[in-house]
Structure 1
Amino acid sequence: MAGKSNEIIKSESEMKMKWLLGMGYWVQGFRCFPWLAVNFFLKDGLHVDSSTLQILQNSANLPMVAKPFYGVLSDSLYLFGQHRLPYIALGAILQAISWVAVAILSSSGISISTMTFYLLLGNLGASLAEVANDAIVAETSKQPTSTKRGKASSSGGLQSFVWMASSLGGVLGNLIGGIAIEKYSPQAMFLAFGVILVIQLLLTISVRERSLNLPKNHTNSGIKQQLAELASAVHKPEIAYPIAWLSASYALVPVLTGTMFFYQTQALGIDSAVIGISKVFGQAGMLLWSAIYNKSLKSSSPRKVITGIQVTMAVFMVSDVLFVNKFYQKMGVPDSLYVVVFSGLLEVLLFFKILPFSILIAQLCPPGCEGSLMAFVMSAIALAMIVGGYLGVALASFVGVTGSDFSGLPRGLLIQAACTLIPLLCSSWMPDNMKPKVTKKDA
């Protein structure tokens, strides 16, 4: 009877965990809903150019760079006897304040600096919540599940679940956003997302952390000790080299999303609903990718999977060159169809690498610093993507692309594709096979 009771308690804790994480990652994916409105609000409301739009998009992600600090706080500083859920709750509060504040301000009263401040505040809240959620996933992935298949069953299973939840949020966010932007003001969309964040907050504070049955291998060791453990972990070659390679694979690629957004909407006159559907198609691709990876590729070489994605990105960029040069249009393919399928997939392809990489790092992560190490990884990716975004602005300027002149865009896309292949020269930094976990004793 006691064994059966323990199984019931464990099953209930896993169900609570999935509800909590599912909601958290779904909201994380659904953030594309207000951000789609931000793009159109900045372009049509504040009349910014393509370079300014891209600078704002990337600058707003600066709070993501400080994720290791949030991770150390989450690992070492307990709030109200808990060390994960309070940070998720605080993140939801900051995001709700940010989006509701923008929603209630009049259009004429919002300046670029004011908008930037609230976007930074919102991303600060999102960073705190993501760090705590990622730490819970990293901790739980090391435990055997109630399926009685042992630890092997839990490896990658929860990561795939939350990836699918995030992708589903992205699908709905872009689908609803593409329709809503035609019928409602951006402020109304900001307010709607604020309400969703309040619901997430209420769900989070209704759960006690002890009911989630998280591992008990944590000690309140203090921030200094936690920083020392993080430093020790990232100095391990088997951890440092893959992180360096993944970061370089983002930082070396100039991102031209702002330029392509202006090209599609200004030069081609693509409808906002089509832009939304393209993002839906991309998110559906991410959802399908998580299912395919979990079923068929989870045991494959991380190096082969991740470098394969990198090559695919370069191929899609070359395809964009043909698109801008009207090659597909001459073949009878409508611009809107290409934007939905190829542009939608290219926009999310760079995120495909994160799923296999997060599973790899979760296996290598020393016990006790899951939050700080996973946060370090995500902040390295965020910083690398910001660098790539700024390089994209510089590349657009170099090839002479402006908000009304896109004649240099094909050359810029070719340079982008060439830069995407450069990290392959150091692909040996990525493990060819999954290695055993690093223990705290080893670290």
Structure 2
Amino acid sequence: MIASSPGLRVKVTTLLKEKVLFGNEPSPELAAILLVYFVQGILGLARLAVSFFLKDDLGMSPAQVSALLGVAALPWMIKPLFGFVSDGLPLFGYRRRPYLILSGLLGTTAWVALATIVHDVWSATAAIALGSLSVAFSDVIVDSLVVERARTESVQDAGSLQSLCWGSSALGGLITAYLSGILLEHFSNQTVFGVTATFPLIVSLVAWLITEEPIDHATDWAAIREQISQLRKAVSQRAIWLPTAFLFVLQATPTADAAFFFFTTNELGFQPEFLGRVRLITSLASLLGVWMFQRFFKAVPFRVIFGWTTVISTLLGMTMLLLVTHANRAIGIDDHWFSLGDSLILTVMSQIAYMPILVLAARLCPAGVEATLFALLMSVVNLAGLLSYEFGALMMHWLGVTESNFDRLWLLVLLTNLSTLLPLPFLGWLPNAEESQMPQTMILPEASAEPIENLGATNSELVTELRQ
């Protein structure tokens, strides 16, 4: 039995690598990366508490909530700056570990503040933005490691690491999904914030698992100047800025999410416990979407998958009209059951649609500036997400949708869903079928000619829980 132990260990390791880790080699650093994404998902424990806190404790309207969430997402707009800070200003001789530790401490500070001293809109905005900053900064660090690893993937395995990372985030969300509603049935919003404050500390702890050699200089200005030069060369190429422009248009269409939350709680009377069930269903659906992309769609050309997912998502999004007009009751479907089924289908499709964004962004990044350029690309996507919230807030104000008036919510849902079709005329900005399957260095030969030491770093687009 003892003699067979090494063989058994090899079999278990192989099974773990092929079936659980999508072909990625298990290592302490990979575990650290996945734990950071896992924490991003598990912070969803407070998502419902934040929504109810803004709605009930602070008395904010749907438009105000949408505007606040847009402002709170600002740290995700400046992720390249975090990359430059991490690389240009090493702390104690390290570029990654100290900043992961710092980001975890910032996150804990933000949630403790929400649990204790935040009692008005402005302080709530500041605390939520600080929590967002914490996740964005840690995301910068781990995304740099993900991009470096993704560049070594074969075309056949493209997207496997991104799928694994987002699967880890979805798993974190899954574990806390139902608890987020149950806790609110028995405890206050502030208590939930206090519990959530413990999780960012995990990020600080796993920082020591990151493989990093100490550097013997404070700031490598020559390397930074070289990086900026390569970054400028990269973004000037049509093969990079055209797909980036498409991703911006894709993500900038207005959203009605804030108004829909007010509708389900104030009009339909959904309680926190049921909303926790919805979160559980959407977390499972998110995992299913990651698996479906990995299993069936990762080799589909970008133009095809973006085109079809946009059309299908728009059509499925229209099903919300049945709920806001109460037409589901006329066909004998209870509001609760309809909401569960709708959330399941829409989440699967949205996850399948979002995974190619990550894969495309990673594949656009040439050697030498992969992490900083990835941060820049994802910042553009996140800026589009901010505009999506702000456009949604303007439409809610324009249509007169408030916390108690949902007469024109159907029109808001209709317009926001139709707006998601706007990117379709620009599908030609994406790489064609041949380019989608080509190695990265073949697509972008100029920018990958002189690889230098990786200096930048980058989401969950994504993704904080406020974005999801």
TM-score bin, normalised by smaller chain: 0.7 to 0.9
- The residue correspondences of 1:33-48 to structure 2 (distance < 5 A) are 33-48=45-60
1:209 aligned residue: 211
2:33 to 21, 26, 36: 21
Match for 1:254: what amino acid?
Answer: P
Could you tell me whether the CA contact under 8 Å between 2:281 and 2:344 is conserved in 1? yes
Alignment partners' CA distance in 2, 1:235 and 1:86: 33
Could you tell me whether the CA contact under 8 Å between 1:96 and 1:195 is conserved in 2? yes
Matched, 1:263 2:263: yes
Which structure carries more helix by proportion? 1
2:303 aligned residue: 303
Matched, 1:233 2:245: no
Match for 1:198: what amino acid?
Answer: L
Match for 2:211: what amino acid?
Answer: E
Residue 81 of structure 1 deviates from its aligned partner by 3.5
Q: Specify whether residues 110 and 17 from structure 1 end up closer, same or farther in structure 2 by C-alpha distance, changes over 3 A only.
A: same
Could you tell me whether the CA contact under 8 Å between 1:233 and 1:239 is conserved in 2? yes
1:191 aligned residue: 194
Count of residues in correspondence between the two structures: 418
Alignment partners' CA distance in 2, 1:299 and 1:271: 41
Alignment partners' CA distance in 2, 1:350 and 1:318: 14
Alignment partners' CA distance in 2, 1:406 and 1:344: 24
The SS at the match of 2:318 is helix
1:99 aligned residue: 111
Match for 1:249: what amino acid?
Answer: L
1:87 aligned residue: 99
Q: Specify whether residues 441 and 163 from structure 1 end up closer, same or farther in structure 2 by C-alpha distance, changes over 3 A only.
A: closer
Match for 2:371: what amino acid?
Answer: G
Identical counterparts, % of pairs = 28
Alignment partners' CA distance in 2, 1:71 and 1:267: 44
Could you tell me whether the CA contact under 8 Å between 2:293 and 2:352 is conserved in 1? no
The SS at the match of 1:31 is helix
Match for 2:122: what amino acid?
Answer: S
1:175 aligned residue: 178
For 1:298-318, what per-residue CA distance to the aligned partner results, in whole angstroms no more than 9, with x for missing partners? Answer: 111112112222112211221
Q: Which moved more, 1:417-426 or 1:81-90?
A: 81-90
Matched, 1:55 2:67: yes
The SS at the match of 2:27 is helix
Could you tell me whether the CA contact under 8 Å between 2:100 and 2:203 is conserved in 1? no
Alignment partners' CA distance in 2, 1:154 and 1:392: 37
- The residue correspondences of 1:267-306 to structure 2 (distance < 5 A) are 267-306=267-306
- The residue correspondences of 1:250-399 to structure 2 (distance < 5 A) are 250-251=251-252, 253-343=253-343, 345-346=345-346, 349-350=349-350, 352-399=352-399
Could you tell me whether the CA contact under 8 Å between 1:254 and 1:388 is conserved in 2? yes
2:455 aligned residue: none
Residue 367 of structure 1 deviates from its aligned partner by 1.5
Could you tell me whether the CA contact under 8 Å between 1:75 and 1:226 is conserved in 2? no
Alignment partners' CA distance in 2, 1:423 and 1:111: 38
Could you tell me whether the CA contact under 8 Å between 2:96 and 2:212 is conserved in 1? no
Flag structure 2 segments of 5+ consecutive residues without an equivalent.
1-9, 18-23, 214-219, 451-468
For 1:205-247, what per-residue CA distance to the aligned partner results, in whole angstroms no more than 9, with x for missing partners? Answer: x325238xxxxxxx87543332332222222211211111011
| Runs of 4+ displaced beyond 6 Å | none
Residue 441 of structure 1 deviates from its aligned partner by 4.0
Residue 346 of structure 1 deviates from its aligned partner by 3.6
The SS at the match of 1:309 is helix
Alignment partners' CA distance in 2, 1:423 and 1:306: 9
The SS at the match of 2:432 is coil
Alignment partners' CA distance in 1, 2:296 and 2:421: 25
Flag structure 1 segments of 5+ consecutive residues without an equivalent.
1-6, 145-150, 212-218
